[in-house]
Structure 1
Amino acid sequence: MTQSSSRFGAALLAALAVAATVVAVRSAPSIVGTGAAGGGGGGGNWVAGWAPSPVAGSEIPWMPDCPAGKGLTDQTVRNVAFLAAGGSAVRVRVTNTFGATALRVGRASVAVQGADAAVVPGTVRELTFGGKTSVTVAAGGRALSDPVQLSVAALSTLLVSVYVPEATGPVTNHPFTAQGNFLAAGDRALSPTGEGYSSIPCWMLVDGIDVRASSRFTGTVVALGDSITDTSATSGNANKRYPDDLARRLNARRGSTLSVVNAGLGGNRLLAPRDGEPYWGVPALARLERDVFAQTGVKSVILFEGVNDIGYSAGADEMIAGYQQVIAQTKAQGLRIYGATITPFGGSFIETPERLATWRAVNHWIRTSGEFDGVFDFAKALGAPGNPEALATQYDSGDHLHPNDAGCQAMADTVNLDVLLRR
């Protein structure tokens, strides 16, 4: 699903009725550098500060302002990224994960955001890749920049600009952001102003920012989920997603803490791909390695996904088998995994007696199976008094399925930080 806007209303139904055939790709980036410049050292305590899950570029009928489907030519993308962790240096991951051909990046930069597409004066840092200012990323690959010295605060916002001189074809992107981003003609990657930039609704060409953080940050927790984790029904340009609220709680805590990565995808399912509409992403079971295990400093995972599977009338047994696979693969990586109960959807367009029965059975298993390292009961926290199958009025965005800003805050508040941070 998408941001809470009337033009996305029809898409809500589509999100639970269809999904993407794209095969998950995870490969080491193939990089060829051109140009000159130097890079910094890579030592230090690195964590993932921001890492949106990518999808294949495609046309989205109700969102024509995102050009990921038709691609870019001689243009600069300026992505707006909210950091969960602060530190003394950053490095950026350029993505061509779902690209059909090699991607040439002519120039890239990172800066602290000022107003809109303008930067805070003096903060623009040109990115290099193996000391080169240009990089070519193979189809299916990614490229990690050299570190650059840049003092960034936790819960601050960066601008990551990527200039592509040649026709790209469809580009890897994250379509539903609840965040305005920017696009300009020509090479404006190093521009300190917002001149020439116009607004776009999607993130493109970048799927990660790592931060060299203080020792207080002991790693990263990845929030794996669907639209309720991703953005849907939260206020635009306000960073009110539940992982953002969790990052605020973790940053306010004294002593050791974690960075937070949002691996939510609108319309995503745990079990199955979605035919013909790749903007919903590949299923969770097909993106664990790339979106979870490959994140810098990952220590733990919060699994909160399944309402779209229920909307497709998946059975409790097959969903539980899917959860068990996520648990097994996550623990095999030496990571902790926490389960979150599926939030209520009574009164929404997906409600049927059979689906509510599945919801009850799945949530009972999450709460009682003992297979997770801990459980955060989002369903209980958001359920209506006397009617736990429906969202409480104060947490309902209006569609009886997606929590609003207050609901996302309540979810974040339900996460037991002592459990999440225990060694």
Structure 2
Amino acid sequence: MTRRLARAGGLTAAVLAAVVLQPAPAPAQAVGQRGDVVTWAASADRMGEAAADRSYRLVVRTSVAGTDLRIRLSNAFGDRPVTFDSAYTGLQAERAALVRGSNRRLTFDGNRSVTVPAGKSVLSDPLPGRLPAGSDLVVSIHTPDAAGPATGHGMALQTSYAAKGDHTAQAGAEAWTDEIGSWFYLDAVSVRPQAGTGAVVALGDSITDGWQSTTDLDRRWPDYLARRLQKADTPLKGVANEGISGNKVLADGAGQSALNRLDRDVLSHPGVRTVLLFEGVNDLKAHTGVTAQDLIAGYRQIADRAHKAGKCVVGATVASFKGWSEWDPAAEAVRQEVNTYIRTSGDFDAVTDFDRVLRSPYDPERILPVFDGGDHLHPNDKGMQAMADAVDLHRLDCDRPRRTG
């Protein structure tokens, strides 16, 4: 049994092929009383020039279990339509090889092909069958004539695969000779879970994106959080990681700002109940003149828009980063003022104090050495787990009225 299959819950390949993404009996509860919930997501960004007649085999780690899987393909940063003439989804066995019998075709309004206009996204039809929690899902797509700017997520910290020509239907790994470290076009996966289930979206920068965590082992802090939620007595089971390395709250640059991408990357996902906001270090360390009041105004806008959409908002304090090349006392003063606001303002439904968890007791302006990934800003695997462990799971959900439909 491969490492990936073992991580999927100790099931054998034969058992997985029998239960995953296979037709399942309809539950006793009416379908109309249940809603989709995001089980995986990654922030869309501009990815350079697209390639025609290219297949992508994209490996993603899901969170919440459910039936009727759907994928979302994004052309958010394209300047022309992009066509996908074949899309499949299955389970990873080893590297680019799939579990036998798990690879199944996806359709779009009943068609095998779909064209996504520039700046838009599209959902696949629901795929009958059940997907367990914590699955290593593989989505294979082919673009026959893609050109212009491609859309995707640059820093996946997950090995995926590419190939010339259409090999999406093939379960074997023979054609998938090109390893890639990014996700192309795929920006979300959703399922229909047990009634009453919801999701958390982590909105952040490179720390949320997972930089300095171990590639291919799903050790970003939202991954650890997802594993905690699966075991906890809470209706929140889905986790969407909407981190972008270098991202800022206020200004576009490394991806659109948190303010500008909030609707697409957070509020558009189904089943989202809570936004966990952990951004700001890139704004204050960039020496662009951003003040604490500027950042606070940005946080308030995000919280207000999320609240109006019926979401809970958890604010996370900005972690220490002394020793990073851009640190200076002025940036530190802004960080301290911002963190005081996050802890005491009451603008958030709850607070997660990542600063308190990660900082050194001997020099609170620095990250604790045992959690330091080596650059004095990004936590290592131990730091990522400590962050997830610091989240109060029962304060992630609140009584805020929810929108329906």
TM-score of the superposition, structure 2-length normalised? 0.88
CA distance in 1, matches of 2:146, 2:265: 27
Q: CA 1:401–1:255 in 2, change beyond 3 Å: closer, same or farther?
A: closer
Q: Which of the residues 266, 269, 278 maps onto 1:295? A: 269
Say whether 1:48 aligns with 2:38. yes
Alignment of 1:68-217 (within 5 A): 69-197=48-176, 198-215=178-195
8 Å CA contact retained: 1:258, 1:421 = no
Q: In the alignment, is residue 406 of structure 1 matched against residue 386 of structure 2?
A: no
Instruction: Tell me if structure 2 keeps the 8 A contact 1:101–1:138.
Output: yes
1:351 to 2:327 alignment: yes
Letter in 2 for 1:322: G
Report Cα offsets for 1:355-394 as digits up to 9, x if no partner: 1111111101101111110100000001102211110011
- Aligned in 2, Cα 1:54/1:309: closer, same or farther, shift over 3 Å? same
> Aligned-pair distance for 1:334?
1.1
Structure 1: distance between partners of 2:184 and 2:235: 33
Q: Is the 8 A contact 1:395 1:406 kept in 2?
A: yes
Contact residue 49 and residue 210 of structure 1 kept, 8 A: yes
Is the counterpart of residue 372 in structure 1 residue 340 in structure 2? Answer: no
More RCO (CA 8 Å, sep 6+): 1
Give the counterpart of 1:336 among 298, 312, 316: 312
Determine the structure 1 residue equivalent to 2:291.
Answer: 315
Q: CA deviation at 1:162?
A: 0.8
What is the DSSP-based 3-state SS (H/G/I as helix, E as strand, rest coil) of the residue aligned with 1:391? Answer: coil
Cα contact 1:223–1:304 (8 A) shared by 2: yes
Q: Which runs of 5+ in 1 are unaligned?
A: 1-40, 58-68, 275-279
1:251 aligns with 2:230: yes
Residue 373 of structure 2 corresponds to: 397
The C-alpha deviation readout for 1:229-255, integer Å capped at 9, x for no partner, is: 012111000000011100000001135
2:79 aligned partner, one-letter code: A
Alpha-carbon shift at residue 225 of structure 1 (Å) = 0.3
Q: Any conservation in 2 of the 1:112–1:152 contact (CA below 8 Å)?
A: no
Name 1:223's counterpart in structure 2. Answer: 202
Q: Which amino acid aligns with 2:319?
A: T
User: 241-250 or 81-90, which moves further after superposition?
Assistant: 81-90
Task: Name 1:232's counterpart in structure 2.
Answer: 211
Q: Which residue of 2 aligns with 1:5?
A: none
Q: Tell me the TM-score normalised to structure 1 length.
A: 0.84
Q: Show CA shifts across 1:197-240 (max 9, x none).
A: 1201100011110012123x621111000000012111000000
Aligned to 2:403: none
Flag the 1:254–1:370 CA change in 2: closer, same or farther, 3 A: closer
Which stretch shifts more, 329-338 or 413-422?
A: 413-422
Query: Contact 2:273/2:397 (CA < 8 Å) preserved in 1?
Result: no
2-structure distance, mates of 1:153, 1:349: 43
Please tell me the residue identity of whatever aligns with 2:82.
Answer: L
2:349·2:398 contact (CA, 8 Å) conserved in 1? no
Report Cα offsets for 1:138-183 as digits up to 9, x if no partner. Answer: 1111110001123321111101111011132221010001111110
- SS of the equivalent of 2:331 reads helix
Whether contact under 8 Å (2:274, 2:397) holds in the other structure is no
Map of 1:34 onto structure 2 = none
Deviation at 1:402, TM superposition (A): 0.4
Quote the RMSD (CA, aligned, Å).
Answer: 1.5
AA at the equivalent of 2:280? G
Q: CA deviation at 1:347?
A: 1.4
Report the more deviating stretch, 42-51 or 186-195: 42-51
Q: Quote the Cα distance in structure 2 between the aligned partners of 1:412 and 1:396.
A: 16
Work out the percentage of aligned pairs sharing the same amino acid: 41
Give the 3-state SS of the residue equivalent to 1:370 in structure 2: coil
Matches of 1:138 and 1:116, distance apart in 2? 32
What is the alpha-carbon distance in structure 2 between the residues aligned to residue 376 and residue 244 of structure 1?
16
